[in-house]
Amino acid sequence: MMISIFKSLHGDLESLIDESKSPNLFKWAQDFCADDAVDDAVKDVLPETNKLMEFAQVHVANFKVSKKN
């Protein structure tokens, strides 16, 4: 699900995964993030992207604060 957060922030996978170096991983990530790829049973247990985004933002902010101290 962190892949979906990254895509939300950056709009693509290319800046996260180098397709020329990891073509199978790149293809898997594309397939996994496709709207119709995730089974309904899996969708029921995965958190929504916006909730994960909020979670990540809080932890990044906390990390920045602790790094300054």
Per residue in 18-49, pLDDT (tens digit) is 899 999 998 888 887 776 666 776 667 777 87
Residue 61 has pLDDT above 80, yes or no: yes
* Under 8 Å between Cβ of 13 and 7: yes
Total structural domains within the chain = 1
Task: State the residue range of the domain holding 21.
Answer: 2-68
pTM (2 d.p.): 0.54
44: left (phi over 0), alpha (psi -120 to 50) or beta: alpha
**Sequence-distant (≥ 6) Cβ neighbours of residue 52 within 8 angstroms:** 1, 2, 4, 5
Q: Where are the alpha helices (DSSP H) in the chain?
A: 2-10, 23-33, 40-43, 49-68
What mean pLDDT is predicted for residues 13-20? 84
